[in-house]
């Protein structure tokens, strides 16, 4: 018999857009006690997730399935400056997004898109107010939360 083999449930959470419609799910891939080191973010075809920024964590993405547009807003003086990057599982790449950058994820491919995120530092549910939600209108108006 092989020793030290373990199996445990992986938490899967359905996600929703601002109107409350399902737009995919999050699946914890690797967890270290209470912190999540790696997770999968799946977005339905045509779906959008965002906008939000992290005050503490940088996001680090790899697209495993599909094609996705990552829309980012970074503070530039009194306004937010917009940048877009395309990630495609057919041309694998890694995208690092620093903390304090508002990010939206738009599935622009056929079928579901899968992004692996290995944030730095790991996601810690004990950090209150670490994630800040925005609408596109707020970002374009220069709102800071």
The full set of domains in the chain, from first to last, is: 12-140 (2.60.120.10)
> Taking the model in full, what pTM does it have?
0.92
**DSSP conformation letters of 8-70:** ----EEEEE-TTS-EEEEEEEEEEETTEEEEEEEEE-TT-EEEEEEESSPBEEEEEEESEEEE
pLDDT per residue as tens digits for the range 11-50: 999 999 988 999 999 999 999 989 999 999 999 999 999 9
Average per-residue pLDDT for the chain: 95
> Confidence band (pLDDT; 50, 70, 90) for 59?
very high
pLDDT at 75: 94
């Amino acid at each position: 018999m092989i020793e030290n083999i373990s199996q445990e449930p992986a938490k899967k959470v359905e996600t929703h857009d601002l109107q409350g419609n399902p737009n995919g799910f999050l699946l914890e891939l690797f967890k270290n006690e209470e912190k999540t080191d790696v997770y999968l973010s799946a977005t339905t075809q045509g779906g959008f997730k965002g906008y939000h920024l992290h005050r503490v964590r940088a996001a680090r993405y790899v697209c495993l399935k599909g094609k996705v547009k990552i829309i980012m807003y970074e503070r530039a003086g009194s306004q937010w400056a917009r940048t877009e990057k395309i990630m495609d599982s057919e041309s694998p790449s890694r995208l690092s997004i620093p903390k304090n950058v508002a990010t939206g994820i738009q599935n622009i491919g056929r079928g579901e898109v899968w992004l692996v995120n290995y944030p730095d530092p790991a996601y810690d549910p004990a950090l209150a107010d670490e994630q800040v939600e925005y609408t596109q209108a707020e970002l374009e108006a220069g709102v800071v939360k």
